[in-house]
Amino acid sequence: MPETAAPGPASGPALVPPSGTVHWIGAGLSTGSGLAALCGAADRVRLWHRTEERAGRALAALGLAGRAEPRAYTLEALTAELAPGDVVVSMLPAPEHTGLLAACVAGRAHFACSSYVSDAVLDQVPAATAAGVVVLTEAGLDPGIDHLFAHDLIARARAEIGADTAAEVSLTSYCGGVPAVPNDFRYRFSWAPAGVLGALRSPARYIEAGAETTAPRPWEATRPHEVDGETFEVYPNRDSVPFVGQYGLPPAWKPQTFVRGTLRLAGWSEAWQPVFTQLVGGDDRSIADLARDLAARYPTTDADRDRVVLAVTFEVRGGSGHRWSGRYLLDLEGEAQESAMARCVSGMLAVGVGAILRGTLPPGLNRAAETPERSEEWLAQLAGEGIEFTLRVGD
């Protein structure tokens, strides 16, 4: 189904027409070929980094010298160049999205990121909607591509089983960035260690055996998980329960298992025991020191290669004997030119920003693709960009 222009809200201003200019903020580990894709889709792209020199070096490393304009980032400098209809892509840590989004709303510019929706961002959505501004979030790998997989699987199951058929359902969605060649630490940092430790310190809520369950320390719920004959370790992450509604499960379908979580190499939980001990007994200051120590001891270098594994499985068991199961699997290894993580995160962001540039997303909050139709479109675009994945339906 082709994309159509997004309508404005029922009351208030219509969608601010896209200007064709994209401001990409940050050139860290997750910036990759998606930026190159936008250089072909947008009229003008500016890469904002700590200094103009570092932005220029990043563009050269990506083969984009002369195709995008380097800029030295400060919020004030960005605001001075922001025009209505521009698109701001934030690759900064999630706490910095609040100020960026406020600048976008004030300047009537659109906003995109790969992070989960924070309360601070959510608070600004009404103002963004009224201003005709698109707020695209959760448009990365996890969250992001996992949403597309889940929406598509559930739509396929609805078509096969019927939304009114009483059934028990199971959804598991596990994702992880791991070293392509296993190391003693059983991990490769693809984002800031402080963020990794922060996620581990956050309780996880999910559905197991038909009941809501909370793991105060997510790693204590680690269990084996097999994917195509390879055994990994998985544990729940953040709060899975709201996604029952976000994914549009029919009321007649009762979740028995519903877990969105993190995937690690076998042996990870044993290798990380010293880290867990410090997480249990540490305060914010000691955890910050631990993050710096881990960054120094396990640096990400140009010589190592990463691997991204995302496995989303959905099963339906109806009381009248109806059965349906499907699974999406993305399993990519990084290359010398680009890590698998950067390829997936920036590639997904580029697809979402492309939709903003075409004016096909509505004003207000958009969490990646929130409909089966748009999920199908965006999955096709990802495949066209060379991000390979497989779909298996049935046993």
Which DSSP state fits 220?
G
Give the Å distances, CA to CA, from 187 to 31, 169, 182, 269, 315: 20, 32, 8, 10, 30
Hey, what long-range contacts does 17-21 have (CB within 8 A, 24 or more apart)? 17/85, 17/359, 18/85, 18/87, 18/110, 18/356, 18/357, 18/358, 18/359, 19/43, 19/83, 19/84, 19/85, 19/86, 20/44, 20/85, 20/357, 21/45, 21/46, 21/83, 21/85, 21/86, 21/87
How many other CB atoms sit within 10 Å of the CB of residue 59?
23
d(CA 350, CA 197): 28
CA proximity to 86, closest of 137, 162, 19: 19
Question: In sequence order, what are the beta bridge partners of 45?
Answer: 22
The predicted structure's pLDDT at residue 4:
53
The predicted structure's pLDDT at residue 320:
73
> Which alpha helices (DSSP H) does 16-96 contain, by range?
33-41, 52-61, 75-81
Q: Where are the beta strands (DSSP E) in 148-301?
A: 167-179, 204-208, 211-215, 223-227, 230-236, 253-265
**What residues in the chain have per-residue pLDDT under 50?**
1-2, 8-11
d(CA 41, CA 20): 8
The predicted structure's pLDDT at residue 192:
81
The predicted structure's pLDDT at residue 9:
47
Q: Which helix (DSSP H) or strand (DSSP E) does residue 242 occupy?
A: helix 242-246
CA proximity to 391, closest of 232, 155, 176, 163: 155
The predicted structure's pLDDT at residue 190:
76
Hey, what long-range contacts does 6-10 have (CB within 8 A, 24 or more apart)? 6/134, 6/359, 6/360, 6/361, 6/362, 6/363, 7/362, 8/132, 8/362, 8/363, 9/129, 9/130, 9/132, 9/362, 9/363, 9/364
Give 110-164 pLDDT, tens digit per residue. Answer: 999 999 999 999 999 999 999 999 999 999 999 999 999 999 999 999 999 999 9
Question: How many CA atoms lie less than 13 Å away from 395 in the CB half-sphere?
Answer: 1
